[in-house]
Amino acid sequence: MSATKQALTYMAVLVFVVLINFWLPRLLPGGPVEYLTGGGEEGVIFLSEVQKQAMLEYYHLNDSLWIQFMTYIQGLFIFDFGLSFTYKAPVFEVIVTHLPWTLLIVGAATALSMIIGLTIGLWSAWKYPGRKDRSIFMVMLGFSAVPEFLIGMLLLIGLSVKAGAFPLSGAESPFAQAEHWLGRVIDIGKHAFLPIATLTIGNLAGMYLLMRNEAIRVRQDTYVEFAAAKGIRERAVLWRHVARNSALPLVTVIVTRIGGMLAGSVLVETVFSYPGIGKLLQEAILARDYPLLHGLFLMMTLFVLCLNLLADLIYPRLDPRIRVAKKGETA
Amino acid sequence: MFFSEKFYIKSILAILIICLAVLTAGCGMQKNAEQVDSSEQPITAAGEVSIAQPAANEVKQIRIAWGNSGYPSPFAFSASGPGGFLRNSFLFDTLTWKDEHGVIPWLAKSWSVSDSGLEYTFELEQGVKWHDGEQFTADDVVFSFEYYKSHPFMWTGDISQIKSVARVGDHEVQFTLNNKYAPFLTDLVGIVPILPKHVWEQVDKPLEFRDSSALVGTGPYILKEYDEKAGQYLYTANDSYFKGKVRVREVAYINAQNKVLSLQKNEIDATMVLNYAEVEQMVKEGFDVIKSAPTGSALRVTFNLEHPQLKDKRLRQALAYAVDREEMASKITGGEPMVGNAGIIPPDSPWYNTQVKQYEYDPSKAERILDELGYTKKANGLREDLKLNVMVSSTSPEAQVMQEMLKKVGVILNIQQVDSATFSAAMGENKYDMAVTGHIGLSGDPDYLRLWFLGQASNSLAARGKQFDHKEFQQLAVMQMTELDAPRRKEIVSEMQDILAEELPTLVLYHRPFYFLHKQSQYDGWFNTAGGIADGIPLWDNKAAFIDVGN
């Protein structure tokens, strides 16, 4: 596939998403005004017809769909999605307020699950075949079968409710006037611990399995045997030869998985009531907050596309077999 | 070996990205922290909010559980639920307000009504200052109602009843109404906040207005901090409040996921709960409880009056006899159940008609009516030609209990659970058989019966835009609105209840009390607001409860 072709594919995907992004939320029954008047948890509110009309006019919801669509397209080019219906503030600002928290837990969980998962996977492969490998393999399979929100619930009940070691929800203690920045960091860390732990455990098994299988495959390669035959110490063989060579193909898989973590954050943030974009997305869907939904979906799409692009770009450089195939083509 | 130097650089890329993400997160938080530091502190004329040691009958801080209600300016607060209005009422004042006995003067010191009932003249408090030190005058009142005409107040309060507002003197205004309007003092000037003219006259996009002056009111509190991401509020007392000393120095609203747990863990001091079992448990743990009175809420079934089978009132009555509502209420909420009034107005309201027709639990009577209507039982014990759907917008134990009870008389009920927006849209388009809703707002002025059933309400309080097609009822509804003589008005409202109970456009299952858990030893100023705050909010964060009125 040539570079231009690839660029075209990406463009096509982006255009498709931009279109879907506008129409999909509007296919849901009811709109933002119905959400307000529909009750739900908070109970019904009284809204006179005058007030309702004023609302529709304000949000341009009584414009024709076509005009709404044109406004949406125009806004795309300057990253202006308009005002969020629920927050009554520019979508961009609302997202910027919540995004760092998601990046914090997803970033930390990605790093942790990689370090832990890959290490255990390598060790497990080294012990293969054997009882130790078997038992770890079984435990990890068990982990991978438990859904993330259940892990979150169990951690929440065990460590927050019963043991009281961690706060129940939120990202910070409310209005804690920490004198020192260190106090604030500790507070944020305490709140982020369980969400990070949940996401990490949820992704650990995947990382482990990838590494283990790849390392077992590499171990059977001849150069590993040769290295061992040369009398190189076991540890050196493990790290210098097996680990390196099995980690390479994994890089791309891992990069694309980060996108999946972002999706996983929706469930985790809901369980821990953590104020990131996952929770924001859930609320936006319920409230039919079209502009906010546009902003969030587009951001997530761009994020995933960029990760994919990154994987596409680095993959040929990492896997010698592909590099050979692509010889003569400068990427 | 396969590795080039180039490769190393590339392989680190992925890890770099992750680091970058974490860093960005760090920066973002830094930014948030800054925003917090420069929080929306209106500049007070007196300089700054003094942080004095609380005096004998003062309380330093009370933390109450509630969710995010948006930015609390008069135009940006969230209209879903009563939270937003209450958050705003701490910052802004209205002409009248309510305490435990009823309507009391607030920004208006006194008022008089003309013989025609169309003119209200208010004498305003003098020496009232906006948070920024400017004087409050009659001009602000006139301006506010003018401004709301072009920028509607997104809550309740029917501005269209007002013909004009005129300035009579520096501290006197006169309202002229289009027609007599009985709930004027409670449901109109008791709800709509008065705006500072000097701030809003320059604002043409009030919803987006986020300058710190957007929160400049005359109210007892100033917003010290609004944690936007978590939806939490911290209010601090306004020391120069015209109405008296603010006893609670700080009020914080904490977004607690599990209220009872947060209470046990001392993350909050007070909260509203619905479940009586939780109340009993917390009372054992040393908390005090207030039960809302009047109850002011209803869990009810709305019938689609255009449904081919349900449009027959006899079927609706049969369903009412078939549901054991007392059993249902005690199962679901516990405590002492208050069975729904067939005439809608809760039995603990002063407007309740004691003579109104009620539907006792009587399954055999229900069976008899169903047989008469021709829905005969088949061999399997079910009336196959009567299958009804009930729509609910959140998990509704009421619908499940009703399903079981109706099965006993052979009626098959199918539960459709949808989200709030879908629910409301389906009601608006009359695409449903029955719907279960739960809401507040029944403790205040009974004018809501007119609003619900005369197609005035744009919501799920009644089938939207569909009038309850009953001539006599409609006439009575308009009559009671314009009747200023209370005893006479009560008679009319009683007649309306009779019609509603007979026709059953909606069946109230039960009236659900709210409970307030708190510690009397921490603060003893709590009370139930007569008729509910504003147009009937049965909660306890009434600003009058935090003030020593007249000191």
Residues 6+ apart with CB under 8 A from B434: B301, B302, B303, B304, B310, B388, B389, B390, B391
Whether A142 and chain B come into contact, CB under 8 Å, resolves to: no
Residue B95 to residue B110: CA distance in whole angstroms: 9
- Assess whether pLDDT exceeds 60 at residue B43: no
Q: Quickly tell me which residue has 């009985």 as its tokens.
A: B182
Tokens of B505: 């456009």
Query: Rounded to two decimals, what is the model's pTM?
Result: 0.86
pLDDT tens digits for range B278-306: 999 999 999 999 999 888 889 999 999 88
Whether A155 and chain B come into contact, CB under 8 Å, resolves to: no
What are the structural domains of chain A? 3-90 (no CATH), 92-329 (1.10.3720.10)
Residue A44, pLDDT score:
57
pLDDT tens digits for range A68-117: 899 898 888 887 888 898 888 999 999 999 999 999 999 999 999 989 99
- Nearest residue to A84 via CA among A276, A295, A302: A295
Q: Shortest Cα distance from A326 to chain B (angstroms)? A: 16
B265 CB neighbours in chain A (<8 A) are 164, 168
Whether B428 and chain A come into contact, CB under 8 Å, resolves to: yes
Is A168 close to B22, i.e. CB distance below 8 A?
A: no
Mutate to test the interface with B, among A55, A84, A99, A103 (most CBs of B within 10 A): A103
- Assess whether pLDDT exceeds 60 at residue A166: yes
Q: Cα B276 to chain center, whole Å? A: 21
- What percent of chain B has a predicted confidence (pLDDT) above 70? 87
- Assess whether pLDDT exceeds 50 at residue B498: yes
State mean pLDDT over A6-14: 89
- Assess whether pLDDT exceeds 90 at residue B475: yes
Q: Shortest Cα distance from A174 to chain B (angstroms)? A: 7
Give residue B41's pLDDT band: very low, low, confident or very high (50, 70, 90): very low
Residue B64 identity = I
Is B420 close to A38, i.e. CB distance below 8 A?
A: yes
| Helix or strand run (H / E) with residue B289 | strand B288-291
- The number of beta carbons lying within 10 Å of the beta carbon of residue B416 is 17
pLDDT tens digits for range B48-86: 334 444 555 789 999 999 999 999 999 999 887 889 999
Residue B37, pLDDT score:
34
More confident position, B296 or B389: B389
B157 CB neighbours in chain A (<8 A) are none
State mean pLDDT over B136-152: 95
Q: Is B112 exposed, middle or buried (0-12, 13-18, 19+ CB in 10 A)?
A: exposed
pLDDT tens digits for range A113-140: 989 998 999 889 888 888 999 999 999 9
Whether A46 and chain B come into contact, CB under 8 Å, resolves to: yes
Q: Shortest Cα distance from A175 to chain B (angstroms)? A: 7
Whether the Cβ atoms of residue A268 and residue A102 lie closer than 8 Å to each other: no
Mark which residues 56-115 of B lie under 8 Å from A by CB.
Answer: 63, 70-71, 75-76, 78-83
Residue A308, pLDDT score:
85
Whether the Cβ atoms of residue B350 and residue B437 lie closer than 8 Å to each other: no
Residue among B155, B297, B421 minimizing CB distance to A31:
B421
Is B79 close to A47, i.e. CB distance below 8 A?
A: yes
